[in-house]
């Protein structure tokens, strides 16, 4: 039940000083359309959990189910975004946003139209022909957000996506993200170490303990959003 569920997920990294338990039996269930934040101190395993969900890391133990199917490899219906986004510098904003469509061989005309909608959605109307180096950090993350949405993934995994931005820009981007979330109905899992941000953004907050990473509790947030 739920769109995504994890059962007893564990991750043990092999390191020079021996095995390191990064996740120790994490279980959860997330409904379609929920905005979940994952919080906890540095090193508690937030990125590890997100990477396992995104298929970038293999889990050591446990099961992961997405829409009734066992999740074993990266899938196009799960999109990821990071603190620093790699945009291709020799491609325009538009070409960057259309890239997932090119890779997945989607209809060119449809992708072009979709790109216009997405640039509009993330507030980059009129910036399609610019190059990444001509944009501010916040605008580059807007491009990354549009690119993330380009092939319409069901789940957005975001690892401190605005963590490198100044506070004002970060708050603007948080509002932008909420707008996108409301319009698209996506399921979002958002990693942050900022509790205020988690409360502001989320339906529920997953709180993790450090070493070894466990899910310590789930906080239901019942605050009106803007
Ligand atoms: P967080 O995102 O909460 O800061 P991480 O998931 O990055 O935590 O890390 C959890 C633990 O796993 C930390 O102790 C970290 O040092 C360790 N770790 C993360 N990635 C690796 C890796 N590739 N190899 C070995 N240890 C790792
Ligand atoms: P702090 O003491 O950490 O500044 P705040 O509750 O003021 O705590 O804000 C924490 C974070 O929550 C902010 O950095 C921001 O990302 C987010 N946030 C809070 N209020 C807003 C808002 N009105 N619009 C957008 N983001 C907000």
Asked if 130 contacts 52 with a C-beta cutoff of 8 angstroms, the reply is no
Mutate to test the pocket of ligand 1, among 47, 160, 211 (most ligand atoms within 8 A of CB): 47
Q: How far apart are CA 67 and CA 114, in angstroms?
A: 25
Section 9-24 average pLDDT: 96
pTM greater than the 0.95 cutoff = no
DSSP state string for 27-54? EEEE-TT-EEEEE-STTSSHHHHHHHHH
CA dist 137 and 202 (Å) reads 24
How confident is the model at residue 74, as a pLDDT? 79
211 pLDDT band (50/70/90 cuts)? Answer: confident
The residue whose CA has the least distance to atom 27 of ligand 2 is 171
pLDDT in tens, 120-148: 999 999 999 999 999 999 999 999 999 99
Alpha-carbon distance values, 196 to 52, 55, 92, 148 (Å): 26, 29, 35, 25
* Interface pTM, i.e. ipTM: 0.76
Give the Cα separation of 101 and 110 in Å (integer).
Answer: 9
Alpha helices, DSSP H only, in the chain? 46-54, 93-103, 108-121, 137-149, 167-184, 195-201
Residues with CB under 6 A from ligand 2: 167, 170-171, 174-175, 194, 196-197, 200
pLDDT, mean of residues 166-182: 95
| Residues 6 or more apart whose Cβ sits within 8 Å of residue 75 | 55, 66
Is the pLDDT at 1 greater than 80, yes or no?
A: no
């Amino acid at each position: 039940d739920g769109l995504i569920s994890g059962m007893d997920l564990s991750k043990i990294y092999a390191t020079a000083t021996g095995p390191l338990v990064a996740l120790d039996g994490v279980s959860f269930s997330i409904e379609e359309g929920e905005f979940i934040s994952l919080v906890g101190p540095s090193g508690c395993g937030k990125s590890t959990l997100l990477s396992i969900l995104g298929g970038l890391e293999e889990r050591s133990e446990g099961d992961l189910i997405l829409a009734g199917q066992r999740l074993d490899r990266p899938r196009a219906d799960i999109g990821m975004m990071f603190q620093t986004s790699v945009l291709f510098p020799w491609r325009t904003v538009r070409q960057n946003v259309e890239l997932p469509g090119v890779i997945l061989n989607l209809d060119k005309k449809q992708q072009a139209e979709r790109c216009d909608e997405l640039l509009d959605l993330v507030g980059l109307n009129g910036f399609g022909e610019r190059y990444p180096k001509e944009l501010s950090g916040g605008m580059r993350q807007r491009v990354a957000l549009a690119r993330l949405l380009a092939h319409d993934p069901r789940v957005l995994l975001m690892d401190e996506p605005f963590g490198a931005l100044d506070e004002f820009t970060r708050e603007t981007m948080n509002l932008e993200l909420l707008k996108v979330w409301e319009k698209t109905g996506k399921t979002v899992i958002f990693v942050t170490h900022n509790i205020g941000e988690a409360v502001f953004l989320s339906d529920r907050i997953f709180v993790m303990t450090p070493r070894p990473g466990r899910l310590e509790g789930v906080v239901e947030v019942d605050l009106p959003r803007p």
